[in-house]
Structure 1
Amino acid sequence: MKNVLCFGDSNTYGTPPATGPDDARRYDGRTRWPGVMRKILGHSWHVIEEGLPGRTTIRDDLIEGDFKNGRRYLAACLESHRPLDVIVLNLGTNDLKARFGSPPEDVAAGVDILAGIIAATPNLGNPPARLLIVCPPPILLAGFLGVMFAGGVEKSKALPPLYEAVARRHGAEFLDAGTLVSVSPVDGIHYDKAAHRILGEAIAGKVQEMVP
């Protein structure tokens, strides 16, 4: 059986468009995009979901908690799930929060650091896992999250070529999710069910190309 690890934030976890800070829901396993991918890939693949709402690439969040820093957990996550055939890295939206003040180049640099950790982690004597870097779609300033992401819209639009350059540097595959899906106008960050289906289908197709 082949193993694919989906390492991401709330859009990998399956958070629906939220109407307020107490709106703590989650799409079911068939609806969120890793579940869509699981159905397409079939029984020969084990899809590992590692989505955490609020997760950043490499940034400590002094408000939501340092554990939101993807760098702090990635190496342990890789070792606990190895051997891995494919890793889908889908992060960066939370780095756009106003509290971090990060330019788009720094967001991409965070992805670059995570890609380096992935490359340096032994895979139990197996060939290194293939890496797919997914650039999140542009955000909107909407709903109760608008203030939290103030100044992030233009930064999010600048990410695709920066992410693609990181992917080239690491010999990874690249997918620009913004060419396929859009965030919901309800909160400007999360995906509706249709977007999860489209993204899951697209990522499944990429994984099948990477490991036939």
Structure 2
Amino acid sequence: MRTLLLYGDSNTHGTLPMEGLGASGRFPRDDRWPGRLAKLLPDWEVIAEGHPGRTTLHDDPVEGAHRNGLTVLPAILESHRPVDVVLLMLGTNDLKARFSVTASDIALSLERLVRVIRASEAGPGRGAPDVLLVAPPPIAEVGCLAGMFAGGAAKSQGLAAEIRAAAARLAVPFLDAGAVVQVSPIDGIHYDPEANPALAEAFAVAIRHYFPG
């Protein structure tokens, strides 16, 4: 059985759209897209590593340095090895105003994460895991998170193109989640219930296509 590691943020964790700051609701395990994906890929061990607030490589001065996706990635890879494929979907939290980065910066940060994965020796036979690089859907500045992500909506419109270009530079498969789902109008960041089956199906198709047998 091969291993698929889902490395992401609150939308991999399964966080519900937030009516107010501090809300911590989560979709039931079997309703989350990672749980649905596991059922669609019975010949894979699907491991969900989603951390709310996780950035690509930034220490968060407000929510904590432990949300830095680069810092914790090597330990996660080692703890689950051998890992055949990493589905990497980050970048949304980098759009927070406090980080002041561009869509191009976010794509370059994801490139760095891919290089860490490739150098990790966490794949079978101490090789490099394969990577599926995913662009998160564009965000909206609405609800309780609008101020936190001020200016992020406009940046997010160009994020998929930048990540697609990064995937081409790295020669790794790419999937645009924004072509599959939209963010919730409640908070503009998280996904409504119907996004979970749609994402699970899209990811299952991509995994079977890019990493057969």
Q: TM-score, normalised by structure 1?
A: 0.97
SS at match of 2:178: helix
- Kindly state the Cα deviation for residue 54 of structure 1 after the two structures are TM-superposed: 0.2
Identity of aligned residues (%): 48
CA distance in 1, matches of 2:169, 2:79: 26
Unaligned runs of 5+ in 2: none
Deviates more, 1:145-154 or 1:158-167: 158-167
Check whether the contact 2:119–2:128 (CA below 8 A) recurs between aligned residues.
Answer: no
Q: What are the residue-to-residue correspondences of 1:147-158 with 2, within 5 Å?
A: 147-158=147-158
CA distance in 2, matches of 1:211, 1:175: 14
Counterpart position of 1:189: 189
- Kindly state the Cα deviation for residue 36 of structure 1 after the two structures are TM-superposed: 1.2
CA distance in 2, matches of 1:126, 1:120: 10
CA distance in 2, matches of 1:124, 1:75: 16
Counterpart position of 2:69: 70
Counterpart position of 1:53: 52
The amino acid across from 1:34 in the alignment is P
Unaligned runs of 5+ in 1: none
Q: What are the residue-to-residue correspondences of 1:28-47 with 2, within 5 Å?
A: 28-42=28-42, 44-47=43-46
Spell out, residue by residue over 1:120-153, the C-alpha distance to the aligned partner (whole angstroms, 9 max, x if none). Answer: 1112515432210110000001111000000001
Runs ≥4 in structure 1, deviation > 2 angstroms?
none
Q: TM-score, normalised by structure 2?
A: 0.96
Counterpart position of 1:85: 84
Spell out, residue by residue over 1:181-208, the C-alpha distance to the aligned partner (whole angstroms, 9 max, x if none). Answer: 1000000000011111101110111111
Aligned length: 211
Structure 1 residue 207 corresponds to structure 2 residue 213: no
